[in-house]
Amino acid sequence: MNPLMALLAQSKPSFWLPAPVSNFAGPVDWDFYFVYWVSIFFLVLITALLAIFMWKYRAPKGAHAQSHNDHHLLLEVVWTGIPLILSLMMFWYGYRGYVLMQTPPADGISIVAEAQKWAWNFSYASNGANVPGMSDDFNAVRAKVRSGEFTSEQAAAEEDKILEKAGLHVPMDVPIDITVMAADVLHSFYIPAFRVKKDCVPGRTGKLWFIANEAGIYDLYCAEYCGQGHSKMHTKVVVHETVEEYEKWLEIAGSYDETLPFDENGKIVWKRRGCISCHSIDGTKKVGPSWKGLFGSMRKFTSIGTPGELIADEAYIEDSIRFPMNRVADGYPPQMPVVKLTDKEILWVTEYIKSLGQNSGGTENPRKEN
């Protein structure tokens, strides 16, 4: 890293960006400020020259414009060559950084970040743990801060509690190899403090990596508009000071307390796996049907263009989770992603849905939901 990049990597938060805390901070900030100041220089230069020429060569009142076919070869070469050289420099620095971000070291920690409307899920290759982003919980904390119900200290304490089993966790000074995926529509994985961003495209995987060089808690956003819940699709990145601290967290991160009743674990799954984003538990209509009174109700649906009806029993719920496009509930868009729940998680979710009230078999009209 050259001295300028090293200086930028150690800089404080700026008007545009938070304090840089990763190995890519210096190169990315150098690219940003290079483009910024080159643009400012030419904006000021061209504006000043326009003003000077407009004043100096202004025509007297009543004069008519005359046609000139003169040209100056050297001047034309200069005003074409300089922008070309600058554009090639910008391209080279940007491309070099892009290639570097796509080539993770072989000894990195592998994590899969899967995006879906409107939640993040993180899978850790070392032990198979699946950890949610818990965007809705963080949004609830932010709402309480805005309303004055929480002070900043109370909000920080509540977020620490959420982060015990949520968010993206990594150790400091270790290469982190991230594979990004999307379960439904376009999303974008973006950590401003690390200066890393990668689009999540349905049906494809993307790669990026980084080394976090300062312990702390940082924001992770979706930077691609993905629907009505886009602004709420954020979570936190926790950088642990040591690998030992990170591994200790990882041991318990993806676990469930199996001594809890099935329906209580079902509620945890509802939050952890992003079901909360689309399915309410109080009858409120969201992107998907509410779970309140769902079990035992007669469901109208369309299957491969053919209308049908079935009672929402255990088999119906399991099939709807495993193969969401097989039967699309009337009144709702066909956009539920495939959420890969384990058999236990499906059992717990089913029991949780039962606990929210059972229907005696009457037909639900989704248009009557509030």
Contacts 24+ apart (CB under 8 A), 82-87: 86/38
Give the tens place of pLDDT for each residue, 301-320: 888 888 888 898 999 999 98
- Sign, CA dihedral 126-130-135-138, equals negative
Q: In this structure, are residues 233 and 222 in contact, taking their beta carbons and an 8 Å threshold?
A: yes
Contacts of 252 (CB under 8 A, 6+ apart): 165
What CATH number is given for 262-368 in this structure? 1.10.760.10
**Residue range 3-57+69-101, CATH number:** 1.10.287
Report residue 5's pLDDT band, with 50, 70 and 90 as the boundaries. low
CA angle 301, 303, 304 (to 5 degrees): 145
The predicted structure's pLDDT at residue 306: 86
Decide the pairing of beta strands 298-303 and 216-222: unpaired
DSSP string across 26-46: HHHHHHHHHHHHHHHHHHHHH
Of residues 1 and 249, the one with the higher pLDDT is 249
Give me the pLDDT at residue 211, please. 94
Q: Of 118, 152, 122, 130, whose CA–CA distance to 221 is shortest?
A: 118
Average pLDDT over residues 132-136: 77
> Which secondary-structure segment (H or E) carries 306?
strand 306-311
Cβ 241 vs Cβ 53: under 8 Å: no
Cα separation, 232 vs 143, whole angstroms: 11
pLDDT, residue 368, reads 38
Res 210 pLDDT > 90: yes
Domain ranges of the chain: 3-57+69-101, 109-253, 262-368
Residue 365: count other Cβ atoms within 10 Å of its Cβ.
Answer: 10
Res 367: pLDDT = 37
Distances (CA, A) of 294 to 227, 290, 327: 25, 7, 15
**For 146-215, where are the E strands, in sequence order?**
168-171, 175-182, 187-191, 196-200, 206-211
**Comparing C-alpha atoms, which of 112, 150, 108, 148 is closest to residue 133?**
112
Amino acid at 80: T
Average pLDDT over residues 343-363: 80
Residue 3: the pLDDT is 54
CA dihedral 48, 49, 54, 58 (to 10 degrees): 130
Chain centroid, CA 49 distance in Å = 44
- In the chain, the N- to C-terminal Cα span, in Å, equals 57
Weakest-pLDDT range from 86-90, 149-153, 199-203, 274-278: 274-278
Per residue in 216-260, pLDDT tens?
999 999 999 988 889 888 899 999 999 999 988 888 776 777 788
pLDDT of 369: 38
Facing residues of 179 across strands? 112, 207
CATH code given to domain 109-253: 2.60.40.420
Share of the chain above pLDDT 90, in %: 22
| pLDDT score, position 11 | 59
DSSP 66: -
Q: What is the pLDDT of residue 20?
A: 86
| Contact (CB, 8 A) for 195 and 31 | no
* Mean pLDDT score across all residues of the chain: 83
The reported pLDDT for the residue numbered 245 is 92
pLDDT at 362 over 60: no
Tens-place pLDDT, residues 44-90 = 999 999 999 888 888 777 777 777 777 778 888 888 898 899 888 88
- Residue 118: pLDDT over 70: yes
